[in-house]
Every structure is written in structure tokens, then in C-alpha cells.
Amino acid sequence: MSRSCKSLFVFALFLAPTVALAFDHYAGVGRQATPAEVKAWDIDVRPDFKGLPKGSGNVERGQELFEEKCASCHGSFGESNEVFTPLIGGTKPEDIKSGRVSGFLTGDIPQRTTFTKVATISTVWDYIYRAMPWTAPKSLKPDDVYAILAYFLNLAEIVPGDFTLSDKNIAEVQARMPNRNGMTTDHGMWPGPSAKKGGIGNGGVPDVKNVACMKNCKPEVQIGSTLPEYARTAHGELADQNRSFGPVRGTRTLGPEAAKKAADAGTLELATKSGCMACHGIKSKIVGPGYNEVVARYQGQPDAESRLVAKVKAGGQGVWGNVPMPPNAHLKDEDLTTLVKWILAGSK
């Protein structure tokens, strides 16, 4: 090998890592995805409609599908606030012209709905197709999605009642989206290059500037807000959300009475979940004895708790008649003890 050849070879080696080394580099690891596999999973639809499947659907069909598959959560008109925040509402005909939801400018917007916020119709198409209905995601066909979206658009008064939405006209509908001009990327919280460099935002410049003053930083302390009394107790017994030892204790917010009530409610839930309440009533016999009868029988016996724990665990027959109690080996010991204590204490 001549000298010049050698240096060429060395040069090529230096180049290699950036150009070719990494590609297909790991023998035995990874394989090419088949076209069918990519098609099955590559379901995203971008704002420029890349990825949008061909198809169409009209308002009428959309209403039928929506009533059948969506209305139980969203309400028949997408207005429901019961399970999720409303889809429809808060947009006005003039918003369609301006592309800005005027309620955000005037402050006259009781609740933000999907259509007050979303600027890109592709987002809604993409999301319904990939994630809806709630309990059966990815079960809708593209034509179903077009129809349901057509129904939304009609409810939001963006298209008329006889409208058919399709891959052909969706871009025209985009031009009527009420909040299409309502987004800004002029901020410093995008972790990539700035808009000036072909990316998004201002390149990471923060919008607030605090100064690390150390001494006599202000004449007085201005309290803007304190914890409302209802909020103090809305999260349960705070004493029970902290360790029982250490430098602090959880503050007792509900008092022992309410804490016991909360604990009892939890135990009743445990009893229900564990299947106890199917056969036992608190104050009445169902299949097995009522808990009041159990208490009456075991009252005053020093080993009542341990005996009952053993009985519930192993099951039994004869003490209360001929209907056998099945063994409950699946119950955790600590749950079993909690349940038995609760029963003996009157199961309130």
C-alpha cells in the first residue's frame, strides 16, 4: 500500500463514525418494519393533514354515531360537564371570521371548551381516531371520525347541517376554526431552537426576572391569599397523612369523630370490595348473620378478635346454621384484622 493510499484509508476511517457507523450498527438487534406494520401504527395526523386517511362523513351520520358512542359522557350536544369538560360552546359566529375566540379577549368565557381552545382541526381528527370512544379506543373507522367531527363542527356553527366533511374539504374548514389565530409560541419554554433559527419560540429567554436580594428586600410582607377553611378539611384528615413521629405531626383537621367516620367509611368500602356485604348485613341477616348478631355473640370474650379472624379466614359451618361460609384466604391479614375490628366495634 502506497503512502498516499494509507493516508486516504485513515481519512476514511475518521469520516466513518459520523456518516455510516451508526446505521444498522447493532448486529442482531432490530429489524426493518414492514409496510403493513407501519400502516397499522402510524396513525398521526399533522396540522398540514399529512397522515389523514381518505374518507368522508356527514352531520346526520355523525349525530347518530355520537348519540350511540359518545353522548353518555359528553352529552348529546357535546355540552356536558359531568364527566369531561365540554367539547362545544363559548364560540361565536364572529370568531369564525377573526380566528380569535372573543371570550378570551373580553374575559366573558365561563368555561373553556375544546372548540374555544383548539386552533387546528387536525388535532381533533387525530385524537378521536386514536383514543375515542373512552372505553373502546381505536374502534372507529375513518368515515366515522369524519362524521362525528362534522357533527361537532355543526354544533359549533362552523358548518351547516347538511355538511359532509372529507379529506378534500377539511382544509377549508380549518380556515373557519374559531380559535385558529389564538395560539402563540412567543415564549422561552421550548427546549429547541428559536423561531429565528427555524424552530419555535424565543430561544429560551425567560418572561420573569427575579433578583436574589438577601437583606431588607422589602418593607413589609404582603399576603395575597390564605388557605380557606373549607380547603383545610377538603383533603381528609391531614394528621393521617404524615408520620406519627419525627419533627412535626400532621395537623388534626377533622377531629377524632370525623376521622373515625372517614375510617369507617373506608372499612365499609373494604368490606364491600372483599365481598363480605353480599352475605352479611350490618344490622340484618342476609345469607350469613348480621354483624349485630356477631357482636352480640362474641361480646366480652377476650379472644373474640383472634377467633373471628381465624374463622373468617378458614370459613366454617354450623355456628350460624347450615349455610357454609367460604374460606377467605385471599384477604390480606391486615385487611382481615381491620374488618374484624370494625365489625366488633359496631361496624358503623
Partner 1 sequence: MGDIKQAGRLRPAPENFLSAEQITAVGSGRRDFLRKSFLAAGAALAAPLAARAADGDPDILNLPPWATSLGLPVATNPYGMPSKYESQLLRRESPGLTRVGGASVSFAPLQGLFGIITPSGLHFERHHQGWHDVDPAKHRLMINGSDPAFLKKPKVYTMDELMRLPSVSRIHFIECGANTGLEWGNVAVPTVQYTHGMLSCSEFTGVPLKLLLEDCGVDYKKARYVLAEGGDGSAMTRTIPMEMVESGEVFVAYGQNGEMLRPENGYPLRLVVPGVQGVSWVKWLRRIEVGDQPYATKDEAIHYIDLQPSGLHRQYTSIQECKSVITTPSGGQTLLSPGFFNVSGLAWSGRGRIKQVDVSFDGGINWKTARLEGPIQNKALTRFNVDWVWDGKPAILQSRAIDETGYVQPTYGQLRKVRGTKSIYHNNAIQSWKIVEGGEVSNVQVL
| Interacting positions 101-140 with partner 1 (CB under 8 A) | 101, 104-105, 112, 114, 117-120, 122-124, 126-127, 130-131, 134, 137-138
Q: Which H or E element spans position 109?
A: none
Is 188 within 8 Å of 164 (Cβ atoms)? no
Q: How far is the C-alpha of 35 from the C-alpha of 19, rounded, in Å? A: 26
The angle subtended at Cα 149 by Cα 146 and Cα 150, nearest 5°, is: 80
140, 150, 184, 198, 208 from 192: Cα distances, Å: 35, 36, 16, 10, 20
In this complex, which beta carbon is closest to partner 1, that of residue 40 or of residue 287?
Answer: 40
Q: Which three cell numbers stand for residue 191?
A: 427546549
The one segment of 21-29, 145-153, 262-270, 315-323 that binds partner 1 by CB under 8 A:
21-29
Smaller CB separation from partner 1, 47 or 315: 47
CB 239 → partner 1: shortest distance, Å?
7
Least separation in angstroms between CB 4 and partner 1: 31
Q: How far is the CB of 198 from partner 1 (least distance, A)?
A: 7
Q: How far is the CB of 189 from partner 1 (least distance, A)?
A: 4
Instruction: List the interface residues with partner 1, window 26-45 (CB under 8 A).
Output: 26, 28-33, 37-38, 41-44
Q: Tell me if 317 sits within 8 A of 324, measured CB to CB.
A: yes
How many CB atoms are closer than 10 A to CB 316?
Answer: 14
- Stretch binding partner 1 (CB under 8 A), from 47-55, 162-170, 278-286, 288-296: 47-55
* Region 54-83 residues binding partner 1, contact defined as CB under 8 A: 82-83
Q: Among residues 49 and 320, whose Cβ is nearest to partner 1? A: 49
Site for partner 1 in 288-317 (CB under 8 A): 302
Task: State which residue, 192 or 346, has the beta carbon closest to partner 1.
Answer: 192
Chain CA centroid to CA 266, Å = 24
Rg of the Cα trace of the chain? 33
* 157 secondary structure, DSSP code: T
**Residue whose C-alpha cell reads 373468617 in the numeric block:** 312
Nearer of residues 162 and 229 to partner 1, judged by Cβ: 229
Q: Which of residues 190-249 bind partner 1 (CB under 8 A)?
A: 190-193, 198-201, 204, 206-218, 220-228, 231-232, 234-236, 238-245, 247-249
Q: How far is the CB of 14 from partner 1 (least distance, A)?
A: 17
Q: How many residues bind partner 1 (CB under 8 A)?
A: 106
| Neighbouring residues of 203: CB distance < 8 A, sequence distance ≥ 6 | 188, 193, 194, 196, 197
133 versus 289: smaller Cβ distance to partner 1: 133
Query: Which grid cell is 319?
Result: 355456628
Annotate each residue in 250-289 with x if it binds partner 1 (CB under 8 A) or - if it does not, as one string. xxxx------------------------------------
Q: Does 14 bind partner 1 (CB under 8 A)?
A: no
- DSSP code at position 323: E
Phi, psi (5° rounding) for residue 26?
A: -105, 100
> Least distance to partner 1 from the beta carbon of 23, Å?
4
**9 vs 84 by CB, closer to partner 1:** 84
For 47, half-sphere exposure in the C-beta direction (CA atoms, 13 angstrom radius) is 6
What minimum distance in Å lies between the beta carbon of 207 and partner 1? 5
Burial class (CB in 10 A: 0-12, 13-18, 19+), 167: middle
Neighbours of 303 (CB within 10 A): 10
Shortest distance, position 8 Cβ to partner 1, whole Å: 25
Neighbours of 104 (CB within 10 A): 16
Between residues 38 and 319, which has the closer beta carbon with respect to partner 1?
Answer: 38
